[in-house]
């Protein structure tokens, strides 16, 4: 497994957009945080990746999870001489991305880069979100196979990975694969994950076009025992939780029209819960939604930030999410950029490195 580390430097910023939620007490103001972008350029061989979920590991360590990632295979350090692996990870040391160090990890076989989360035959894994539960790190992963139509892949379920030594170097992690419940909802488990009280919660998206999200939860003891087959499901129509065994039909979604990648976290500045996602597909913008309690109901979209790449042809903007464990801003968000033209993606390094956005909260007039 390969690894390298460097500390990023540099500074600049640009204010871009403002978003508000009518009737709320705070206004969110967002701007590009280009100084922080240097964090993702700390490793010369890591030439970009998407996803960019983060998990607080404690002791000033933050785990980053990336899906498809370019890893250089020559001293030229360019994407045209790289291998794209389906997953990589990084450990950020320090909570402020403008001053933190970053070490990236992937596997290698015979000198060739390989995915951090290994393939299983023709099935590969893209990491979704996860959380630290006591000493155990739990990460949800999508399972995918190649397809001839659409975006070139099909989702074939989800799986979870447990790691019992997250304080160790990722090169020594022992991955324990855990099964998840199978049902007619065709869920991608773990789109947004958090711990609240003694339970682990996961907003989990359907693979359908509208990406409605369902809310499931497990007890701490279930997570520590590695038994994820019997969660409880939030039933908005009943206003209560229902066990997996008692779930006889399709429940109503807890959050409609989401994304497969987003974030949900408790946010003191808004006096409740904040959801962050890209809205739409292609030249998307970043929006937020708010709820008083973690189960909802959720308010409508509030536009927050339009990335500067949105004016480019062929652009894909996606995977926006908040990282509440980071410092240097009142709230930190990242998003991914891509292109429908793969040749452009290979040759244009202004794309496919995650980008930072910083947010401040102001009291509404």
Q: How many CA atoms lie within 13 A of 197 on its CB side?
A: 6
What whole-number percentage of the chain has pLDDT above 90? 85
Alpha-carbon distance values, 231 to 187, 220, 255, 313 (Å): 14, 11, 18, 43
* Locus of tokens 């694969």: 177
Kindly report which listed range (59-63, 153-157, 212-216) carries the lowest average pLDDT score.
153-157
pLDDT tens-digit map of 107-129:
999 999 999 999 999 999 999 99
* Locus of tokens 């951090």: 116
For the chain, what is the radius of gyration of the CA atoms? 19
pLDDT tens-digit map of 241-286:
999 999 887 889 999 999 999 999 999 999 999 999 999 889 999 9
Contacts of 17 (CB under 8 A, 6+ apart): 30, 31, 285, 303, 304, 305, 306
CA dihedral 291, 296, 301, 304 (to 10 degrees): 40
Kindly report which listed range (23-37, 107-121, 153-167, 348-362) carries the lowest average pLDDT score.
23-37
pLDDT tens-digit map of 117-161:
999 999 999 999 999 999 999 999 999 999 987 778 999 999 999
Q: Is the pTM of this model over 0.95?
A: no
Examine the pLDDT at 14 and tell me if it is beyond 60: no
- Let me know: does 258 contact 277? Beta carbons within 8 Å: yes
Residues 333-340, mean pLDDT to the nearest whole number:
97
- Let me know: does 220 contact 199? Beta carbons within 8 Å: yes
Examine the pLDDT at 293 and tell me if it is beyond 70: yes
Q: What is the pLDDT of residue 357?
A: 98
Mean per-residue pLDDT of the chain? 92
CATH of span 12-363: 2.115.10
Examine the pLDDT at 21 and tell me if it is beyond 70: no
324: Cα separation from own chain's centroid:
12
* SS3 state of residue 256: coil
Q: What is the pLDDT of residue 218?
A: 98
Other Cβ atoms within 10 Å of 8 Cβ, number = 18
Q: What are phi and psi of 236, to 5 degrees?
A: -60, -30
Token readout for 285 is 């913008």
């Amino acid at each position: 497994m390969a690894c390298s580390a460097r500390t990023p430097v540099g500074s600049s910023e640009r204010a871009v957009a403002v978003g508000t939620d009518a009737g709320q007490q705070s206004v969110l103001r967002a701007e590009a945080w280009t100084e922080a972008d240097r964090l993702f350029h700390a490793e010369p061989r890591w030439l970009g990746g998407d996803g960019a979920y983060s998990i607080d590991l404690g002791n000033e360590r933050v785990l980053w999870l990336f899906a498809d990632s370019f890893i250089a295979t020559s001293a030229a350090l360019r994407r045209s001489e790289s291998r794209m692996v389906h997953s990589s990870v990084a450990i950020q040391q320090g909570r402020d991305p403008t001053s933190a160090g970053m070490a990236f990890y992937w596997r290698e076989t015979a000198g060739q880069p390989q995915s951090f989360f290994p393939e299983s035959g023709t099935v590969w894994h893209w990491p979704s979100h996860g959380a630290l539960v006591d000493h155990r790190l739990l990460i949800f992963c999508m399972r995918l196979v190649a397809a001839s139509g659409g975006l070139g892949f099909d989702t074939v379920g989800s799986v979870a990975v447990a790691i019992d030594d997250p304080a160790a170097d990722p090169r020594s992690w022992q991955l324990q694969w855990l099964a998840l419940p199978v049902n007619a909802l065709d869920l991608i488990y773990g789109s947004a994950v958090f711990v609240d009280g003694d339970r682990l919660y996961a907003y989990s998206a359907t693979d359908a076009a509208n990406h409605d999200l369902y809310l499931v939860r497990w007890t701490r003891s279930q997570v520590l025992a590695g038994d994820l087959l019997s969660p409880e499901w939030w039933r908005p129509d009943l206003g209560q939780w229902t066990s997996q065994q008692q779930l006889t039909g399709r429940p109503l979604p807890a959050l409609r029209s989401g994304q497969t990648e987003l974030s949900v976290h408790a946010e003191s500045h808004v006096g409740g819960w904040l959801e962050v996602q890209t809205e739409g597909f292609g030249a998307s913008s970043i929006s937020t939604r708010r709820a008083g309690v973690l189960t909802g109901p959720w308010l409508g979209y509030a536009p927050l930030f339009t990335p500067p790449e949105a004016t480019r042809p062929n652009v894909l903007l996606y995977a926006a999410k908040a990282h509440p464990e980071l410092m240097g801003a009142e709230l930190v968000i990242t998003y991914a950029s891509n292109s429908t033209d793969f040749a452009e993606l290979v040759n244009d390094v202004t794309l496919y490195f995650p980008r930072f956005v910083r947010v401040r909260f102001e009291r509404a007039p």
